């Protein structure tokens, strides 16, 4: 490809702006007082504070992991504001009218038609602005089905029994450094409980947005699907332009009981830093699902185009017999972005199945790593796994690593792994060009084809957005 | 083996090494410092996460001397079986009286070569550090006393393969053998080398074998390695190859013996157009742990590498495969492929595979694939429906699975020998199989 790599699109991050609203922030730094401040601010019950403090003490004993292939300057954990909330007039808005107009305007700029949401059939939005939920729609409708879908803080107050039962049951506090940090200081997030036998009538979604200077965002999401229920959850994010890196260490826990199914989709487009690699979000996330009951299913789909550094491994613990885990991923890195992502499929139950499809695209100086584990323990008889990881390289400074691990410990299980790495096929490109397509259209088409297997697993609303995002992310890089 | 014992053994041996040239002393001291600093690899070391060294660490191995026990009559039998270009190394010592070597090829003990041919040894020995320093390599560098030096001059074709048998015959338990081989193949030359590691008796020992191979421009080497030591042996080996312009290295490794056998194949494609093919097969049963590691470093453009490995695990044994391919930024037009297939015969057997691709260049074709499974039920049913017993059906399928590696490896001249070795091991594996 002979085109000048700089030739098309030097588009700046279109969502980079800061909404000037007052924040009710915690003092900079982290100690037990910070945690007490957060807990008090959120009017949490005693057990929650005790849990946070225990997590903090655990975190102090842990070391920041260094085994991944991502590189970043050392994070000063005392130089982060761990809590910030938009100022509230009274106790909390009950309808959109009560929501700060500035915030609503922010959403409009982002293209989230919050005010239209009520009319838009099928999507309930629990929008998280910085750390506090400001509006929740469709709640009443969900209530009819007995579905609980609310902000995490609300769940802690309203449904402490469920929180106590499930919080930390999939990602224990001491699981890893960032999970422990999150457990200590998590600000807010979403909670969802689908009762027995209920199919959630709409796609649930949350938009995250990081705002206010130097605020770490520590989301906590917990989704529980009781016996025979099913739910599809969407998560999408954008963030304003910043020069200083922002840390984001979220934890997502999913629990699927017998015959339940959870589909968790993510489109992540946080600020990736500028062309020189300055700024951008550090996205260090722990996502894990537990297929607790027999015949349960958890499916992760992710499209990662943003963040300066993405470091996450959405995983499945296949505990119930005949449970199913899936992982579909597209990770795009451009400029100086780095991504170390993949999945773990831990087969514990008999006849458990897992599928992993991972597509990595590295452009310019982008570094993309797939790191995965498929483990089949001796009692996981007749377990089955299929893994495919493909990498596409665009530019001689980009890199792609593939580090899968397979551990099989019984003779009735099967695991297969395939991986390829190459650049865009010249013949395919030539064919498209010869049909009169421009280079960029041809490349765009080939890249879309490369990712199609993953995109087709996204819910409709996201599939369109994901394609558009992919185009924007790679613009200016092909050539 | 503890670090303290290591230090003591080092000091003890140092006195006897006064006559060694200074470059060798520097090499050994560097390796000693590395080992003292890092010790044995811990379980959080990615390359060792599936290979547990605790059984090895518990045993009191101490580097030292050992005497031979095997009678000359037995050695004669070995020699007669082997034919031309046969080289016998017993407890590290080259046994000239039992060896026959084609004229033109230089073969001598490494300690002799260090004295007689420093101009060939110094620039090569220890200079093949494909992936940097590593604990067992460092140990070998510190303690090696002997081994072989092969030199094939420029533009020579060695007609018959050089067949080396490394026989370990310790007088007491917990002996150690540190072997270091250096192979230098001159520009445009062609040779074949086969290394076989055997135990002379049933005693357990620690065998460390490092073979360094340097291939000149357009040189070709076919390499075969067979390790079938007894079930108490700890075998840690590595073959490190440096390939110059358009040279070619192909290797086949068969591991069947040892309590723990770890074999590393490292190849550095240091100049344009080099090619390597690494193939291997291991068969394990009982409490064995067989571990195959590969590392291919594409440093320059238009290199080719193909890897094909298989493992068959029975009993309580474990198979490990860890294969890494690195394509550096300069190595455009690289073609690198790797395949590993594991077959599990029993419920207690386990296999851990870690294929790794690290690609820093964009105009490349790279792939890896892993498949782990068991004998196909349908295929067994088919054979049984033809009147073949279940055990025999399993054996036939397993043999077919194993032979694929040999067929793809271009080691035709060893085919019969390899097949009989595989059959022998297979009957042990399947004999212990339940159901």
Q: Give pLDDT tens digits for B212-267.
A: 999 999 999 999 999 999 999 999 999 999 999 999 999 999 999 999 999 999 99
Chain B partners within 8 Å of A367 (Cβ)? none
| B363 contacts A423? CB cut-off 8 A | yes
Instruction: Count CB neighbours of A16 within 10 A.
Output: 14
Residues 6+ apart with CB under 8 A from B302: B272, B273, B332, B333, B334
Nearest residue to B232 via CA among B212, B214, B258? B258
pLDDT exceeds cutoff 90 at A15: no
Which residue in A397, A403, A421 is closest to B366 by CB distance?
A: A421
pLDDT exceeds cutoff 60 at A2: no
pLDDT exceeds cutoff 70 at A12: no
Q: Is A389 helix (H, G, I), strand (E, B) or coil?
A: strand
Q: Is A182 helix (H, G, I), strand (E, B) or coil?
A: helix
The most confident of the ranges A22-31, A187-196, A470-479, B306-315 is B306-315
Rg (CA), chain B: 21
Chain A partners within 8 Å of B355 (Cβ)? 402, 404, 417, 419
The predicted pLDDT at position A111 comes to: 54
The predicted pLDDT at position A23 comes to: 60
Name the residue with higher pLDDT: A91 or B151.
B151
Please compute the mean of the pLDDT values over residues B384-395 and round it to a whole number. Answer: 92
C-alpha distance from residue A287 to each of A144, A206, B290, B382 (Å): 29, 16, 34, 45
Chain B partners within 8 Å of A394 (Cβ)? 362
Please compute the mean of the pLDDT values over residues B202-207 and round it to a whole number. Answer: 90
Residue A335's pLDDT band (cuts 50, 70, 90): confident
Touching check for B312 and chain A: CB below 8 Å? no
Residues 6+ apart with CB under 8 A from A168: A51, A183, A253
Chain A partners within 8 Å of B371 (Cβ)? 414-417
Q: What is the pLDDT of residues B30-81, one digit of tens each?
A: 888 888 888 888 877 888 888 888 888 888 887 766 666 677 777 777 766 6
pLDDT exceeds cutoff 50 at A270: yes
Q: What is the pLDDT of residues A58-78, one digit of tens each?
A: 999 999 988 888 888 888 888
**pLDDT above 90 coverage of chain B, percent:** 58
Instruction: Count CB neighbours of B77 within 10 A.
Output: 10
A350: alpha, beta or left, given left = phi > 0 and alpha = psi -120 to 50?
Answer: beta
Touching check for A423 and chain B: CB below 8 Å? yes
Question: How many residues does the structure list for chain B?
Answer: 435
Q: What is the pLDDT of residues A104-118, one digit of tens each?
A: 555 555 555 554 433
pLDDT exceeds cutoff 70 at A214: no
Please compute the mean of the pLDDT values over residues B299-326 and round it to a whole number. Answer: 95
The predicted pLDDT at position A69 comes to: 82
Residue B385, class by beta-carbon neighbours within 10 Å (0-12 exposed, 13-18 middle, 19+ buried)?
A: exposed
The predicted pLDDT at position B339 comes to: 96
Q: How far apart are CA B57 and CA B291, in angstroms?
A: 17
How many angstroms away from the CA of B333 is the closest CA of chain A?
10
pLDDT exceeds cutoff 90 at A79: no
The predicted pLDDT at position A7 comes to: 43
Interface of A with B in 351-380 (CB under 8 A): 378
Please compute the mean of the pLDDT values over residues B120-137 and round it to a whole number. Answer: 80
Answer whether B405's CB lies under 8 Å from B376's CB: no
Residue B267, class by beta-carbon neighbours within 10 Å (0-12 exposed, 13-18 middle, 19+ buried)?
A: buried
Best residue in B354, B357, B364, B368 for a mutation probing chain A (most A CBs within 10 Å): B357
Q: Is A336 helix (H, G, I), strand (E, B) or coil?
A: coil
Q: How far apart are CA B117 and CA B120, in angstroms?
A: 6
Structure tokens at A214: 């130097």
Q: How far apart are CA B336 and CA B277, in angstroms?
A: 10
| A399 contacts B373? CB cut-off 8 A | no
Structure tokens at B311: 């493992």
Question: How many residues does the structure list for chain A?
Answer: 479
Lowest mean pLDDT among A143-152, A252-261, B295-304, B382-391: A143-152
pLDDT exceeds cutoff 80 at B194: yes
Q: How far apart are CA A241 and CA A231, in angstroms?
A: 33
Q: Tokens 């490494």: give the residue.
A: B110
Touching check for B43 and chain A: CB below 8 Å? no
Touching check for B342 and chain A: CB below 8 Å? yes
How many Cβ contacts (< 8 angstroms) between chains A and B?
A: 117
Q: Is A54 helix (H, G, I), strand (E, B) or coil?
A: helix
Q: What is the DSSP letter of A477?
A: T
Chain A partners within 8 Å of B364 (Cβ)? 393, 421-423
SS (H, E, C) chain B: CCHHHHHHHHHHHHHCCCCCCHHHHHHHHHHHHHHHHHCCCCCCCHHHCCCCCHHHHHCCCCCCCCCCCCCHHHHHHHHHHHCCCEEEEECCEECHHHCECCCCCEEEEHHHHHHHCHHHHCCCCCCCCECECCHHHHHHHHHCCECEEEEECCCCECCCCEEEEEEECCCCCCEEEEEEEEEEECCCCEEEEEEEEEECCCCCEEEEEEEEEEECCCCEEEEEEEECCCCCCEEEEEEEEEECCCCEEEEEEEECCCCEEEEEEEEEECCCCCEEEEEEEEEECCCCEEEEEEEEEECCCCCEEEEEEEEEECCCCEEEEEEEEEECCCCCCCEEEEEEEEEECCCCCEEEEEEEEEECCCCCEEEEEEEEECCCHHHHHHHHHCCCCHHHHHHHHHHHHHHHHHHHHCCHHHHHHHHHHHHHHHHHHHHCCCC
Phi and psi torsions of A383, nearest 5°: -75, 155
The predicted pLDDT at position A154 comes to: 87
The predicted pLDDT at position B1 comes to: 62
The predicted pLDDT at position B364 comes to: 93
Q: How far apart are CA B391 and CA B431, in angstroms?
A: 9
Please name the residue of chain A whose CA is at the shortest distance from the CA of residue B344. A411
Chain A partners within 8 Å of B373 (Cβ)? 413-415
The predicted pLDDT at position A22 comes to: 55
Q: How far apart are CA B40 and CA B33, in angstroms?
A: 13
Touching check for B374 and chain A: CB below 8 Å? yes
Residues 6+ apart with CB under 8 A from A210: A130, A217, A237, A239, A240, A246, A248, A270, A281
| A411 contacts B374? CB cut-off 8 A | yes
Q: Return the domain boundaries, chain B.
A: 3-271
Nearest residue to B49 via CA among A346, A416, A343, A375? A375
Report angle CA B130, B30, B217 to the nearest 5 degrees. Answer: 35
Name the residue with higher pLDDT: B372 or B18.
B372
Please name the residue of chain B whose CA is at the shortest distance from the CA of residue A402. B357
Q: How far apart are CA A380 and CA A371, in angstroms?
A: 22
Which residue in A394, A395, A407 is closest to B352 by CB distance?
A: A407
pLDDT exceeds cutoff 70 at B203: yes
The predicted pLDDT at position A91 comes to: 45
The ipTM (two decimal places) reads 0.84
pLDDT exceeds cutoff 80 at A122: no
How many angstroms away from the CA of A176 is the closest CA of chain B?
15
CA dihedral A49, A51, A314, A301 (to 10 degrees): -40
The predicted pLDDT at position A108 comes to: 56
Q: What is the DSSP letter of A199?
A: B
Report angle CA B117, B208, B255 to the nearest 5 degrees. Answer: 115
Mean pLDDT, all residues of chain B = 89
Please name the residue of chain A whose CA is at the shortest distance from the CA of residue B339. A418
Nearest residue to A239 via CA among A132, A102, A109? A109
Chain A partners within 8 Å of B347 (Cβ)? 378, 410-412
Q: Return the domain boundaries, chain A.
A: 23-474
Best residue in B46, B298, B360 for a mutation probing chain A (most A CBs within 10 Å): B360
Please compute the mean of the pLDDT values over residues B400-419 and round it to a whole number. Answer: 86
pLDDT exceeds cutoff 80 at A415: yes
The predicted pLDDT at position A146 comes to: 92
The predicted pLDDT at position A88 comes to: 45
Nearest residue to B345 via CA among B371, B317, B322, B365? B317
CA atoms within 13 A on the CB side of A124: 23
């Amino acid at each position: 490809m002979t085109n000048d790599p700089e030739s098309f699109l030097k588009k700046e991050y279109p969502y980079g702006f800061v909404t000037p609203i007052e924040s009710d922030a915690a003092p900079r730094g982290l100690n037990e007082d910070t945690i007490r401040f957060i807990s008090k601010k959120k009017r949490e019950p005693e057990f929650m504070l005790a849990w946070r403090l225990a997590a903090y003490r655990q975190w102090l004993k842990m070391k920041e992991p260094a085994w991944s292939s991502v590189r970043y300057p050392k994070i000063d954990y005392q130089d982060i504001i761990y809590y910030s909330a938009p100022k509230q007039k009274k106790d909390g808005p009950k309808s959109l009218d009560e929501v700060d107009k500035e915030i609503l305007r922010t959403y409009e700029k982002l293209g989230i038609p919050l005010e239209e949401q009520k009319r838009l059939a099928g999507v309930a939005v629990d929008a998280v602005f910085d750390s506090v939920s400001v509006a929740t729609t469709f709640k009443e409708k969900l209530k009819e089905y007995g579905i609980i879908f609310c902000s995490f803080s609300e769940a802690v107050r309203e449904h402490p029994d469920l929180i106590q039962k499930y919080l930390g049951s999939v990602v224990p506090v001491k699981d890893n450094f960032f999970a422990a940090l999150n457990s200590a200081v998590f600000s807010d997030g979403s909670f969802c409980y689908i009762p027995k036998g209920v199919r959630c009538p709409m796609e649930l979604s949350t938009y995250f947005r990081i705002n206010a200077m130097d605020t770490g965002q520590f989301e906590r999401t917990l989704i529980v699907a009781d016996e025979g229920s099913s739910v599809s959850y969407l998560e999408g994010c954008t963030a304003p332009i910043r020069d200083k890196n922002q840390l984001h260490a979220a934890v997502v826990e999913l629990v699927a009981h017998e015959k339940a199914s959870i589909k968790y989709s993510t489109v992540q487009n946080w600020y990736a830093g500028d062309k020189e690699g300055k700024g951008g979000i550090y996205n260090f996330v722990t996502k894990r699902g537990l297929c607790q009951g027999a015949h349960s299913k958890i499916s992760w789909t992710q499209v990662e185009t943003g963040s300066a550094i993405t470091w996450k491994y959405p995983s499945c613990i296949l505990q119930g017999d005949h449970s199913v885990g899936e992982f579909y991923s597209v990770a795009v890195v451009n400029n100086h972005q780095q991504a170390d992502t993949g999945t773990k499929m831990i087969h514990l139950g008999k006849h458990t199945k897992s599928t992993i499809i991972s597509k990595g695209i590295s452009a310019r100086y982008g570094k993309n790593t797939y790191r995965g584990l498929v483990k089949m323990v001796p009692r996981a008889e007749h377990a089955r796994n299929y893994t495919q990881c493909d990498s596409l390289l665009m530019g001689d400074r980009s890199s792609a690593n593939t580090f899968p691990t397979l551990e099989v410990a019984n003779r009735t299980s099967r695991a297969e792994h395939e991986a390829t790495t190459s650049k865009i096929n010249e013949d395919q490109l030539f064919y498209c060009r010869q049909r009169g397509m421009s280079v960029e259209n041809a490349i765009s088409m080939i890249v879309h084809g490369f990712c199609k297997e993953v995109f087709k697993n996204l819910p409709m609303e996201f599939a369109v957005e994901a394609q558009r995002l992919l185009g924007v992310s790679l613009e200016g890089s092909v050539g | 083996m503890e670090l303290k014992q290591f230090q003591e053994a080092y000091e003890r041996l140092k006195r006897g090494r006064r006559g060694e040239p200074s470059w060798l002393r520097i090499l050994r001291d560097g390796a000693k410092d590395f080992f003292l600093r890092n010790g044995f690899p811990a379980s959080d070391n990615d390359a060792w996460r599936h290979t547990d060294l605790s059984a090895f660490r518990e045993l009191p191995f101490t580097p030292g001397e050992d005497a031979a026990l095997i009678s000359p009559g037995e050695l004669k039998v070995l020699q007669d079986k082997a034919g031309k270009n046969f080289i016998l190394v017993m407890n590290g010592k080259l046994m000239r009286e039992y060896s026959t070597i084609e004229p033109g090829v230089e073969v001598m003990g490494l300690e002799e070569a260090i004295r007689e041919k420093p101009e060939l040894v110094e620039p090569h020995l220890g200079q093949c550090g494909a992936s940097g320093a590593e604990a067992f390599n460092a140990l070998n560098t510190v303690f090696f006393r002997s081994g072989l030096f092969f030199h094939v001059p420029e533009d020579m074709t060695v007609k018959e393969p050089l067949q080396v048998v490394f026989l370990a015959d310790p007088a007491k338990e917990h002996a150690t053998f540190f072997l270091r081989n250096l192979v230098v193949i001159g520009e445009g030359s062609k040779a074949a080398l086969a290394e076989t590691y055997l135990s002379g008796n049933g005693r357990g020992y620690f065998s460390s074998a490092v073979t360094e191979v340097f291939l000149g421009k357009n040189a070709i080497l076919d390499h075969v390695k067979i390790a079938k030591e007894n079930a108490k042996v700890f075998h840690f080996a590595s073959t490190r190859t440096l390939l110059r312009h358009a040279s070619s290295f192909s290797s086949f490794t068969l591991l069947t013996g040892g309590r723990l056998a770890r074999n590393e194949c490292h190849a550095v494609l240091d100049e344009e157009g080099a090619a390597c093919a690494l193939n291997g097969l291991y068969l394990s049963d009982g409490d064995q742990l067989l571990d195959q590691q590969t590392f291919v470093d594409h440093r320059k453009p238009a290199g080719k590498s193909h890897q094909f490995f298989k493992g068959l695990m029975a009993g309580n044994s474990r198979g490990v495969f860890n294969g890494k391919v690195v394509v550096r930024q300069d190595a455009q037009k690289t073609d690198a492929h790797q395949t590993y297939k594991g077959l599990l015969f029993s419920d207690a057997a386990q296999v851990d595979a870690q294929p790794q691709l690290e690609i820093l260049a964009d105009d490349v074709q790279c792939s890896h694939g892993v498949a782990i499974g068991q004998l196909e039920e349908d295929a067994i049913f088919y054979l049984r429906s033809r009147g073949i017993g279940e055990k025999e059906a399993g054996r036939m399928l397993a043999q077919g699975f194993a032979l694929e590696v040999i067929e793809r490896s271009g080691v035709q001249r060893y085919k019969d020998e390899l097949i009989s070795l595989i059959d022998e091991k297979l009957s042990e594996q399947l004999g212990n199989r339940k159901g």
